[in-house]
């Protein structure tokens, strides 16, 4: 099985971490944005990462890929079967994909991807506005829902935790000074999930790559 796309993308990182937690071996092909590899384009017709291939089956979108991996390997269970817990897990995945990451992307794309990989200046005003205005209410929401167990759903690791914590790797790459007095539970929670080998193995490689790039 092949996962196309650099794990600097939180969508790609989420898929890779999900596979690792499941014990599924995947080959990571760290393509960057705009890659034209025909096998990748067949998997991801709009060129978005991650793309995915398992033999002649090719698909894109992190949540679609995760749905496939989960159906192939139901254990360990990372998407609860209880109706409410399952819906809550999908909410956090969706919240991460559409609200948390789209805010984070304004910072990561404009401050890191544009200058370092696309050879052009990013929109730094948009990045600053996202950090100052958009991010704090999102983090306030998360601070209010972090349970004492350190896991968002069913007091055990689920897809929800991987989805919510993965964008915090990008916040680390950005050296964001997140306020530990305002978001103490959230920051401790994220640190706990990011310490898992499934995420850390990719985050560490990314840090080394960014240092060398």
Ligand X SMILES: N[C@@H](CCC(=O)N[C@@H](CS)C(=O)NCC(=O)O)C(=O)O
Q: Residue 183 is encoded by which pair of tokens?
A: 């978001």
Q: Which residues pair with 156 in a beta bridge?
A: 153
**Residue 170 touching ligand X (CB under 6 A):** no
Helix/strand/coil for 2 = strand
**Residue 93 touching ligand X (CB under 6 A):** no
Which residues within the stretch 26-55 sit at the binding site for ligand X (CB under 6 A)? 33, 47-50
**Residue 174 touching ligand X (CB under 6 A):** no
**Residue 73 touching ligand X (CB under 6 A):** no
Listed residue (7, 9, 10, 11) closest to 65, CA to CA: 11
* Member of 35, 63, 126, 129 binding ligand X (CB under 6 A): 63
* Member of 4, 22, 97, 160 binding ligand X (CB under 6 A): 97
**Residue 11 touching ligand X (CB under 6 A):** yes
Q: How many CB atoms lie within 10 A of CB 184?
A: 12
* Member of 7, 62, 110, 198 binding ligand X (CB under 6 A): 62
The strand pair at 2-4 and 57-60 is best described as unpaired
Q: Are 163 and 93 in contact (CB under 8 A)?
A: yes
Q: State the minimum distance, in angstroms, from the CB of residue 134 to ligand X.
A: 17
* Member of 3, 7, 9, 206 binding ligand X (CB under 6 A): 9
Q: State the minimum distance, in angstroms, from the CB of residue 147 to ligand X.
A: 25
Please name the residue that has the structure tokens 């990719």: 202
Region class of 150: left (phi > 0), else alpha (psi between -120 and 50), else beta: left
Listed residue (182, 188, 178) closest to 149, CA to CA: 188
Region from 61-69, 72-80, 172-180, 190-198 binding ligand X, contact rule CB under 6 A: 61-69
Q: State the minimum distance, in angstroms, from the CB of residue 65 to ligand X.
A: 8
The strand pair at 51-54 and 2-4 is best described as antiparallel
| Site for ligand X, rule CB under 6 A | 9, 11, 33, 47-50, 61-63, 97
């Amino acid at each position: 099985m092949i996962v196309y796309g650099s794990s600097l993308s939180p969508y790609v990182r989420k898929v890779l971490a999900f596979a690792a937690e499941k014990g599924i071996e995947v080959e990571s092909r760290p393509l960057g944005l705009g890659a034209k590899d025909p096998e990748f384009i067949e998997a991801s017709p709009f060129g978005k990462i991650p793309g995915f291939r398992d033999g002649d089956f090719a698909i894109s979108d992190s949540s679609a890929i995760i749905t496939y991996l989960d159906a192939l390997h139901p254990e360990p269970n990372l998407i609860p079967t209880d109706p409410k817990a399952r819906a809550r897990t999908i909410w956090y995945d969706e919240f991460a994909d559409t609200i948390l990451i789209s805010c984070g992307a304004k910072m990561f794309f404009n401050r890191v991807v544009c200058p370092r990989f696309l050879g052009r200046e990013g929109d730094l005003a948009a990045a600053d506005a996202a950090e100052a205005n958009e991010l704090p209410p999102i983090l306030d929401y998360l601070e209010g829902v972090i349970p004492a167990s350190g896991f968002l759903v069913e007091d055990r690791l689920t897809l929800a935790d991987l989805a919510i914590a993965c964008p915090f790797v990008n916040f680390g790459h950005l050296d964001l000074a997140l306020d530990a007095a305002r978001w103490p539970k959230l920051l401790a929670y994220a640190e706990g999930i990011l310490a898992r080998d499934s995420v850390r193995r990719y985050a560490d490689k990314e840090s080394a790559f960014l240092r060398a790039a």
